Structure 1
């Protein structure tokens, strides 16, 4: 596995790359790092080139200006990685906030897509209620810090709270290593994003939807509704997962992802 850093308009972008074959870029979600995909790489690397970036402000990825951070600009930084690796087309698959970035990438660079994946994510814009919840979270972070916020958030992301206490899973969420300003910046980017329903409606490549039956973050019915929008959809419901299917049901998730990449 190679660890690399490139310079983009947003700052330094760090990522890992491993394997051979068609490129697959896996984008982590809010308050995570790229280790959220650690279970997937051994399954996929024999047939695909796997790229796992750390988004701006995470790990060795930096933020030059928080005002420059948006869902679209983060999508452009993913394209910068593909350009640096001389990759013309790739599967772009994102978890939660990473799914928002994947949709933005699909809108900006449709000709570069081999396939698109939304893992516990949505093309719908935030509701007023959701925006209010995000703003309350920002206030909590600014008052109590990143680590306290992460510790209160993790249990709500899992169907089985005991699973969330696993040491490896705890390391995936980086509350002790991330700056509060980064979390706030990412929250503001999510609040400002627009709906990208038309991206799914116009998508010319297959789209994967991984849906957690018990997801409290992405409404189950919204996930089902959006899965009918693309011309070609692969829809999988994880009955024993909430928002973290790749960690809650890793074997099944890896099987789903590998089959999608093969069939698509």
Structure 2
């Protein structure tokens, strides 16, 4: 495992494979292990899978804006790896971090993939998911870790992996990640997404995929719906998700 250190921050990350670099942005709590199935892409690409501060063994003093804090952490990883342009791949609330990074460092983003993208909370279902997460982080983080692991794993072994890794998460960072992305509204930044982009949704996760409406006027953003799937594409529908990533890369960068 690699790490980058600056100020009072240490961010650990996996760096595997060779080729065009793809950096993955995890949702609150789950950390980098939520992308375990995407490691299969290392046969073609250079994968960077960080645990953002407060997740795994990564540490920092919590700032007032965790979205900006994680954007800086991504930039620090790219600087250490001497990467001038990267493909960003984000999952769920990680998509807010991804869109903020594109806004602040547009020249560094070669392509953008988001599973379950939304620029703001635009449905009652997503609003409930956030409020439940915010409540459970403070009330019963172990129970929330079990729920997240169960919802993202199809087998007992991987469920255990996700649970154990989630339980390493610092409560304050976990809560701040939920809170800040709950209040963020990046609709004014959508027109600034000028790189090739693919936003994927589970066909059955209507409370998430209804957010497509915010993006459909940007010609750089294409959409794919995975049939009979819910929100957990990188974990429960990883074969389809990985195939979409490979196809996106082949179309735009080969």
Shared fold, TM over 0.5: yes
Shifted more, 123-132 versus 179-188: the winner is 123-132
Give the direction of change, closer, same or farther, for the CA distance of 1:136–1:243 in structure 2 (3 Å limit): closer
- CA deviations on 1:32-90 (whole Å, 9 max, x unpaired) are 12122121222x223321111111111121122x2344212211110110011110000
Hey, what's the Cα distance between the residues in 1 that align with 2:33 and 2:132? Answer: 27
Partner of 2:44: 47
Query: 1:9: Cα distance to partner?
Result: 4.5
1:188 aligns with 179
Kindly report the root-mean-square deviation, in angstroms, between the aligned alpha carbons of the 2 structures. 2.4
CA distance in 1, matches of 2:117, 2:159: 20
Contact 2:149 2:162 in 1 (8 A): no
Q: Distance in 2 between matches of 1:105 and 1:186?
A: 15
**What residue ranges of structure 1 are gaps of 5+ in the alignment?**
none
Tell me the matched-pair count: 251
Structure having the higher helix fraction is 2
TM-score, normalization by structure 1: 0.85
Q: Which runs of 5+ in 2 are unaligned?
A: none
Kindly report which structure 2 residues correspond to 1:7-22, keeping only aligned pairs within 5 A, or say none: 7-9=5-7, 11-22=9-20
2:68 aligns with 72
Question: 1:1-264, aligned counterparts within 5 Å?
Answer: 3-9=1-7, 11-42=9-40, 44-64=41-61, 66-125=62-121, 134-135=130-131, 137-144=133-140, 146-154=141-149, 157=151, 164=154, 166-173=156-163, 174-193=165-184, 195-215=185-205, 218-223=207-212, 225-264=213-252
Q: TM-score, normalised by structure 2?
A: 0.88
Query: Which segment is superposed worse, 124-133 or 54-63?
Result: 124-133
1:177 match: secondary structure: coil
1:107-145: CA deviations, max 9, x gaps?
00001111111111212246788667634543333232x
Q: Quick check: 1:10–1:56 contact (8 Å CA) kept in 2?
A: no
Shift of 1:93: 1.2
CA distance in 2, matches of 1:153, 1:24: 24
SS at match of 2:37: coil
- Structure 1 residue 219: Cα displacement: 2.6
Deviation at 1:204, TM superposition (A): 1.6
**Segments of 4+ moved more than 3 angstroms:** 125-137, 152-155, 163-166
Distance 1:189 1:128, change over 3 A: same
Corresponding residue SS for 2:194: coil
Give the Cα separation in 1 of the matches to 2:77 and 2:22: 12
Deviations 1:208-257 (A, max 9, x none): 111012226x532223x134132223321112221111211221111101
The answer (yes or no) to whether the contact 1:154–1:164 under 8 Å persists in 2 is no
